[in-house]
């Protein structure tokens, strides 16, 4: 339960006891603008990311990698992001970077996109997405001692009314990018990571502090882990045996159209684009998952 408590303390700027109350009864509070600073001396059972030395090294890795992404040695990283449809402005906003990261599993350095998971003024995880992966088993690595709590929360706005939660950082980056292009800044976007990370008190507590939330997942069964009732659910459609998640739609140039259809269906926005006749398969919103 400690992770959820600390998440609430960070995102709402409250003390320990009040964070416990929020998690227990889900009551709403007005978030504070003052961030809670990371603990510099970890307790014996705490993950290493709370240590000041770990933070210094993580910030150095992220800073150097983000600079390298923009210089000649980062060409491969830029080409990969371009292939995925991620703009350099979005990369800069989330401090993405590029480096040759040593992979102990393969005993060699491999090209990787560096993906930091920030929390207030701290970094909780530094994740590496290898660019030369052969299958799903060797795609990712992570700096030791890190903890993936929530990706994208550093970009949350102040009104806390609309939230889109999805699987995977690149899906979150894709949705965030398109929403900003469409000037829908009032909608927050975050990723809970992999399928097994959707449940738990952190996500439940997050839903309690938004008026409306939408979860985009690959498999609808994943949402059985949710206890929050007022959540729209979108499942990635399958076209020609390919599951079209948010980043797949972005690569096809169809995510703006798909998001317009989704958010109009939810009643979050007025339609800005034509109905998705040109969209290969716009995801459907699950009505049965909408609480009143």
Residue 228 in domain: yes
Give the model confidence (pLDDT) of 79-95 as tens digits: 999 999 999 999 999 99
Domain with 21 in it: 1-36
Residue 125 in domain: yes
Task: Tell me the CATH number at 256.
Answer: 3.40.1360.10
Residue 100, helix vs strand vs coil: strand
How confident is residue 211, by pLDDT bands cut at 50, 70 and 90? confident
Cα 248 to Cα 8, 84, 256, distances in angstroms: 32, 8, 12
Higher-pLDDT residue of 136 and 254 is: 254
* Per-residue model confidence (pLDDT) at position 14: 58
Whether residue 19 is found in the same domain as residue 65: no
Whether residue 201 is found in the same domain as residue 235: yes
What lies within 8 Å, CB to CB, of 86 at 6+ separation is: 96, 170, 173, 174, 177, 250
How many angstroms separate the CA atoms of 144 and 158, rounded? 32
Find, among 184, 181, 138, 155, the residue nearest to 96 by Cα: 155
Per the listing, tokens 């990635």 go with 236
Instruction: Provide the strand spans (E) within the chain.
Output: 97-103, 108-119, 122-130, 140-142, 162-167, 187-193, 212-217, 231-235, 238-239, 242-243, 285-286
Calculate mean pLDDT across residues 159-182.
93
Residue 196, helix vs strand vs coil: helix
For all residues of the chain together, what is the average pLDDT?
A: 81
Calculate mean pLDDT across residues 150-174.
90
Give the model confidence (pLDDT) of 96-147 as tens digits: 999 999 999 899 999 999 999 997 778 989 999 999 998 888 999 999 999 8
Whether residue 255 is found in the same domain as residue 281: yes
Whether residue 269 is found in the same domain as residue 157: yes
Domain count, the chain: 3
**How many helical (H) and strand (E) elements, i.e. helices and strands, does the chain have?**
9, 11
The single-letter DSSP state of residue 180 is H
Q: Dihedral of CA 248/252/253/257: which sign?
A: negative
Higher-pLDDT residue of 270 and 256 is: 256
Provide the whole-model pTM.
Answer: 0.81
């Amino acid at each position: 339960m400690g992770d959820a408590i600390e998440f609430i303390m960070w995102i709402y700027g409250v003390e320990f006891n009040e964070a416990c109350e929020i998690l227990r009864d889900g009551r709403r509070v007005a978030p504070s603008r003052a961030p809670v600073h990371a603990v510099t001396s970890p307790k014996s059972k705490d993950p290493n990311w709370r240590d000041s030395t770990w933070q210094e090294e993580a910030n150095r890795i992220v800073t150097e990698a983000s600079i390298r992404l923009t210089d000649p040695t980062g060409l491969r990283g830029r080409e990969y992001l371009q292939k995925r449809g991620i703009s350099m402005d979005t990369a800069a906003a989330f401090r993405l970077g590029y480096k040759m990261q040593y992979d102990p599993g393969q005993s060699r350095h491999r090209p990787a996109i560096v993906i930091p998971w920030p929390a207030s003024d701290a970094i909780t995880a530094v994740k590496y997405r290898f660019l030369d992966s052969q299958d799903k088993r060797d795609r990712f690595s992570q700096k030791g001692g890190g903890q993936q709590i929530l990706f994208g929360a550093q970009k949350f706005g102040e009104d806390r009314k609309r939230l889109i939660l999805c699987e995977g950082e690149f899906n979150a980056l894709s949705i965030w990018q398109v929403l900003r292009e469409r000037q829908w800044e009032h909608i927050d976007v975050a990723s809970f990571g992999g399928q097994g990370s959707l449940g738990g008190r952190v996500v439940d507590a997050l839903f309690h502090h938004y008026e409306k939330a939408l979860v985009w997942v690959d498999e609808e069964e994943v949402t059985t882990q949710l206890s929050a009732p007022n959540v729209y659910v979108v499942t990635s459609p399958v076209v020609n045996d390919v599951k079209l998640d948010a980043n797949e739609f972005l690569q096809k140039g169809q995510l703006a159209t798909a998001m317009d259809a989704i958010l109009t269906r939810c009643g979050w926005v007025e339609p800005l684009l034509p109905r998705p006749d040109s969209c290969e398969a716009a995801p459907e919103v699950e009505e049965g998952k909408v609480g009143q």
